[in-house]
Amino acid sequence: MAKKRRSAAVRALPARRIECRFLVPMVRDSDRRPHAPRHWMAFDDAMRALFDGWQGPEGPVPGNYKNRSGRWVTDRCRRYTVALPRERVPALRDFLRQVANTFDQECIYFVVGFDVELVDAEPSAGYLGDG
C-alpha cells in the first residue's frame, strides 16, 4: 500500500488548547483603593514568563457579587483570555492564587473549558474579496 504524501503546506497540527478566562478586579478588596502600578507590572512580567500569548486586558468589565461575609460588592475588572494546553491549567490556577494574594482579593473569577484550535493560513484555501 503506497503512503499518501502530504503537501508542503500541511504541517503537524499544534497541540489542542483550552481557553481560560479570568477577571482581575481593579481595586483592592480591603480598602477599595486602586492597585499599585508595581503590581500590574509584576503581573505583566509573570504573564510573559508563563504564557506564549493572551488577549486583554478587556474592560473595565462591571460586575456584582456577594462576598464571603454576605455583602454585595460592585466591581470593575480587567478580563484576560489565555489559550493553553490542558495540562497547563493547574499552573494558571496556581498563578491566579498569587494574583489574588498580590491584588488583595478573596478570589479570582476563573473560567476553564472552551477547546481552542489555531487555524493556519494556507494559500490554497483562497482569499476573501480581492485578496
- Separation of first and last alpha carbons in the chain: 40
| Total domain count, the chain | 1
User: What percentage of the chain has pLDDT greater than the value 70?
Assistant: 82
Domain contains 64: yes
pLDDT at residue number 13: 46
Tell me the CB-side half-sphere exposure of residue 75, using CA atoms within 13 A: 25
Residue 5: pLDDT over 50: no
Element (H, E) at 97: helix 89-102
d(C-alpha 25, C-alpha 34), whole Å: 9
Domain contains 11: no
Domain that holds residue 95: 17-116
Domain contains 123: no
Cell numbers of 30, please?
480591603
pLDDT at residue number 6: 43
pLDDT at residue number 14: 58
Domain contains 5: no
pLDDT in tens, 54-104: 999 999 999 998 888 999 999 999 999 999 998 999 999 999 999 999 999
Whichever domain contains 111, its CATH number is 3.30.70
What CA–CA distances, in Å, run from 25 to 56, 111, 114, 118, 128?
13, 15, 23, 29, 40
pTM score, whole prediction: 0.78
d(C-alpha 93, C-alpha 91), whole Å: 5
Whether residue 90 is preceded by a cis peptide bond, meaning omega within 30 degrees of 0, is no
